[in-house]
Structure 1
Amino acid sequence: MEKEKILPLWAFILPLVAIIIWSFNIVVTRYVSGYISPVSISFYRWFIAFIVLTPFVLPKLWINRKSIFKNLPKLAILSAFGMVMYQGVAYTAAHYTTATNMGIINAFIPIFTIVVSFIILKERPSIYAIVGSIISLIGLVYVVSQGNLKDLLSAGAHLGDILMLFAVFFYAFYGVFLKKWQIKLPILISLYVQIFLALIYHLLFIFYFGLDELNHQNIWSIVYAGLFPSIFAPLLWMLAVQYIGPSRSSIFMNFIPIFTAIIAWVWLSEKWTAYHTIGGVIILLGVALAQRQKIRRSINERTVKK
């Protein structure tokens, strides 16, 4: 049996930087909500990413044309869930809730992924996943109710938090479909085609809602969204998965609520309250427990291979 390879420090910096970029994007989404409509920022974001990627990807499209057309229906579904429904609903949610709440609810993605995997892939969740999901749900209800369940039952949940829950649920479908289909295409080309399809979807919404003009109040937020979370962060994440593995990388997702809260506190002066702390800790404990079986299985598989 060989000794486990010692990974360099920079390999763990890759997912950390990706998480910081995505956390910044949540705060940017909240910040720019008062200056541009959800449809407009979503369209501009993917349009910028499309323009930037075109010179690098275009020469390879013809080579992979057969595989692209073969998988076009699947790519269209992925684009709809990951780039239109998730992003569009999240941008809408930003008008009605805080960036801090958005970051905390975003941590629920692994839990929803377990649920969707059971529905679509028929993967039976482990006892860790079930108990962890219940614990996370308790934490989520505590955060949404702002620490007062009585008020939640009498007044109802906040619209922004409900919308963010739907957004996270859509992203869980995106992740599960990625796993189910495992499309045989270079990742950058797959991303590029999904972005192109997302732009086509947006034309329908633009026809109905219109397109806001770019100005000094929204342009830099749009540029950030189009470059960093759309291109750089996914590339860093893919490298992280390649070097340290998916299980280790997924643990870094738990830092999103923390980084988002810190950035929102510094930039937007959002308050971090006791119910954020209590609910956030409960959610993360549940997520960590739900992921435990997955991580242990990955370790066992590596041991067998040795």
Structure 2
Amino acid sequence: MENKNKNQSRNMYLLMLLVPLFWGGAFATAKHVITEVPPLIAATLRFGISGIILVIFTIIQKEWQWQVIRNRWKGLLFIGFVGIFGYNAFFFTALKYTSATNGALIIAALPVFTMLGAVIFGKEKWNNKAGTGLALSMIGVIIVIVKGSLSDLFSLAFNLGDLLFVGALLCGVIYALMGESMLKGIPVILSNTIMMLSGAVFLAISTVFEGGWSQVVSMSVQSWIEMFYMVVCGTLIGYVIFNKGVESIGGSKASLYLNLTPIVATLLAVIAYGSSITLIQIVGMVMVLVGVYIATNKTDQSNKARSKSVIENT
């Protein structure tokens, strides 16, 4: 049983690597899609289509459980409001007022605040190795984003868009911390279905004020292909794995994998668009990878050691 749990834990950590891979790709494709349709409409299409596909899937698989939905609808609705609507509404709106660099730097702090929140609210105990890995990872993210230029980092100016990114950050932290308890015991597919549908409804309501639905019919083939990628990889697969990770390894460890997203986005820009990459950025990427490894692997081992000690002393 112990070896089985160990293998499941290891598999979950490996599976979580797909999240930044898919979300990094979704970030790159979304940048083009929102040049043809307003951001909130793009987000509504992404999560609306994903939710409808999941509804069909859960019905075919006979996993649609009305009793579970009736008993847990408040929590599911809250997670959909915060994790889907809140995060995406703040994030995409913020891009209108500030640079992607500013936003990336702010969102990079999500694992830090998630871990601090987990410690403050008693969900986890502070671990020096995890803290070291987290700090190393965040420094690496900053290096990748600003390309190692201290002058670029210190010359950043903050505005309304940055405050909106802080709102997205808070939504992400709440989602990571509360999702673990609110989604526990609910089938992953079912929870994702309700979460995405409710989030899409909230997003659709917000588009009434933004307008621009007439632009959807004129979207290019490229944008629809990119939307398909965001729906299948960035949403259906990415969110399901992330929510399973939150449930299995905790919100703070799961959110740490988000620091890998800028690495994926940077590499995709190099491969797909011929962007350049510097040696200092490669160093930053290595720091992120090492930091994530330390914060997850070492912490997991120390927790197992403490659990083993407790068992032996009983």
TM-score tier (shorter)? 0.7 to 0.9
Q: From the superposition, tell whether residues 51 and 219 of structure 1 become closer, same or farther in structure 2 (CA, over 3 Å).
A: same
Instruction: Tell me what 2:237 maps to.
Output: 232
Question: Is contact 2:144-2:262 (8 Å) kept?
Answer: no
CA RMSD after TM alignment: 4.3
Amino acid corresponding to residue 270 of structure 1 in structure 2? S
Instruction: Tell me what 2:35 maps to.
Output: 34
Instruction: Tell me what 1:295 maps to.
Output: 300
How big is each residue's C-alpha offset from its partner over 1:102-131, in whole Å with a ceiling of 9 and x where there is no partner?
Answer: 4x8766543332022134445342222344
Question: Is contact 1:108-1:136 (8 Å) kept?
Answer: no
Report the identity percentage.
20
Question: Is contact 2:183-2:191 (8 Å) kept?
Answer: no
SS at 1:218 equivalent: helix
Shift of 1:46: 1.0
How big is each residue's C-alpha offset from its partner over 1:87-116, in whole Å with a ceiling of 9 and x where there is no partner?
Answer: 3334345665459x84x8766543332022
Instruction: Tell me what 2:274 maps to.
Output: 269
**Alpha-carbon separation, structure 2, partners of 1:263 and 1:241:** 26
Amino acid corresponding to residue 229 of structure 1 in structure 2? G
Q: From the superposition, tell whether residues 162 and 42 of structure 1 become closer, same or farther in structure 2 (CA, over 3 Å).
A: same
**Alpha-carbon separation, structure 2, partners of 1:77 and 1:166:** 16
Instruction: Tell me what 1:55 maps to.
Output: 56
When structure 1 is superposed on structure 2, of 149-158 and 177-186 the one drifting more is: 149-158
**Alpha-carbon separation, structure 2, partners of 1:46 and 1:260:** 21
How big is each residue's C-alpha offset from its partner over 1:8-54, in whole Å with a ceiling of 9 and x where there is no partner?
Answer: 9xx68755555432221121122323222210111001111122122
Q: What TM-score, normalized by structure 2, do the two folds share?
A: 0.73
Gaps of 5+ in 2: none
Shift of 1:252: 6.6
Q: From the superposition, tell whether residues 58 and 120 of structure 1 become closer, same or farther in structure 2 (CA, over 3 Å).
A: farther
Q: From the superposition, tell whether residues 20 and 285 of structure 1 become closer, same or farther in structure 2 (CA, over 3 Å).
A: closer
Q: From the superposition, tell whether residues 287 and 94 of structure 1 become closer, same or farther in structure 2 (CA, over 3 Å).
A: farther
**Alpha-carbon separation, structure 1, partners of 2:240 and 2:156:** 43
Question: Is contact 1:98-1:270 (8 Å) kept?
Answer: no
The answer to whether structure 1 residue 184 and structure 2 residue 185 are counterparts is yes
Amino acid corresponding to residue 172 of structure 1 in structure 2? V
**Alpha-carbon separation, structure 2, partners of 1:94 and 1:81:** 19
Gaps of 5+ in 1: none
**Alpha-carbon separation, structure 2, partners of 1:210 and 1:200:** 15
What count of residue pairs does the alignment treat as equivalent? Answer: 301
Instruction: Tell me what 1:258 maps to.
Output: 263
**Alpha-carbon separation, structure 2, partners of 1:23 and 1:145:** 17
**Alpha-carbon separation, structure 1, partners of 2:263 and 2:16:** 15
SS at 2:230 equivalent: helix
Q: What TM-score, normalized by structure 1, do the two folds share?
A: 0.75
